[in-house]
Amino acid sequence: MSEQLRILCPCGILGYGFPEDSFLRGMEKKPDAIVVDAGSTDAGPHKLGKGVSIVSRLAMKKDVSYLVNYGTKQGIPIIIGSAGGAGAKVHVEWTLDILNETLEENGISAKVAVIWADIDKTDIYQALEQGCITPMSATVPEMTQTTLDSTHSVVAQMGHEPILKALESDVDIIICGRAYDPSPFAALGIKYGFDSGLCYHMGKVLECGALCAELGSAKDCIVGTLYNDHFVVEATNPKCRCTVTSVAAHTFYEKDNPYILHGPGFHLDLSACQYVQKSETEVRVTGSKFIVDEQYRIKLEGARQVAYRTFFIGGVRDPLLLSILENVQENVMESVRQQFNYIDPERYSMRYYNYGMNAVMGENEPQKFAGHEVGVLFEAIADTQELADAICAALRSTMLHYGYEGRKTTAGNLAFPYAPNDITFGPVYQFSVFHLMDVDDGIAHFPIQIFTYPQGEME
């Protein structure tokens, strides 16, 4: 075991971008590896449902070119977690295509391991029948054969085990499908014999980039160094500063329990952790405990299409209308229902979001409205795009011309920023699978393939 292991994480999501200076300052610290997370469930179910990314191809390629030019070219291993936004096959392939193109353009050759995280639905059916599926929380839809059938693809979060296995093949780059965010960071430290609790806790702190630093963001770089009995984190941008609060607070981030973090096949107990300000900009962490779970469970994620949407946005400035806006909107929807009385009402629904009034919190908004202008977003949800378009067009024309009690402005009730006014949104998705599945080990569901790029020949 070497005395220390240093990991540079350029940003919270690959393709978010990072300041070049921060990255170069990170490289000056001679990292042993560059590790970066590329996905999250945060942006919504459409990534899994539609197979799209969170970042643009252009931005992704820019970030990847830094990784291969400063990492691969210098013999520094690169690990990318949850490739392409959600880590399903389509996302991994998108990432590989960009990687291949970037390597080719820069004249760099690399041995690339790909770890797939797509879970065969027949395995899930089987686990469901055997009672080996548990929903993640109370409001997760019940898993049935029907919901599974309509779910496009299911991925599972891998732990460090498949990544460790890929590292054995002495590869330059590892592209992981869906992974538990800290696992790609933890794998390298575990390979070199560092304490698994520290490896994972450091991974948890690093995986959002410099978000764990004061004035830091997910679009900036962070460096973590593992030692025998502690780890140290430091932002590479001199404007950001890791503090005891910022690092300890980040351990909380997006988790429902601040000192027990559940991962694939284990949990981390952080109740005895100590955070110490090592220098002006560095924080030292000790005491993270890795506890192996009796039953290895992997978290499944899947999404299904539930409807189509069309919407319009319009501003309301008329004070008389604003004073009775929601009444008018309810009347408009009732009028549209009558206009479409030949259509089964189960096939569609209508909703308005009044920005400036209560769009963010809905009926739970405690504050009374006291403004002079409201942004109205009106949407039609239907079982076909054609019907959503038709309902939205009727909502728009009815709202625009609606003659409410006391109206003085007879020319039109909405200021549209765009023409055409209606925006066809396309399919709407829902997280239909968010369950734990009991498995025998953390390896079997995550097959590994090795390629030599840029040619893309399989070994």
What does the binding site for other proteins look like in residue numbers (CB under 8 A)?
Answer: 41-46, 136-140, 244-245, 248-249, 251-259, 273-275, 306-307, 309, 349, 351, 353, 359-364, 366-367, 381, 428-431, 434
Closer residue to other proteins in complex, CB, 72/430:
430
Give least dist CB 31 to other proteins, A.
27
Q: Which of 179, 293, 208, 274 lies closest to 9 in space, CA to CA?
A: 208
Give least dist CB 397 to other proteins, A.
23
Q: What is the C-alpha to C-alpha distance for residues 209 and 17, in angstroms, rounded to an integer?
A: 11
Closer residue to other proteins in complex, CB, 45/87:
45
Query: Please, which residues bridge with residue 260 across strands?
Result: 269
Give least dist CB 266 to other proteins, A.
18
**Cβ within 8 Å of residue 262, ≥6 positions away:** none
Give least dist CB 236 to other proteins, A.
22
Closer residue to other proteins in complex, CB, 413/432:
432
Give least dist CB 431 to other proteins, A.
4
Give least dist CB 453 to other proteins, A.
34
Closer residue to other proteins in complex, CB, 223/248:
248
- What phi and psi, each to the nearest 5 degrees, are found at residue 97? -65, -45
Closer residue to other proteins in complex, CB, 258/420:
258
Closer residue to other proteins in complex, CB, 254/386:
254
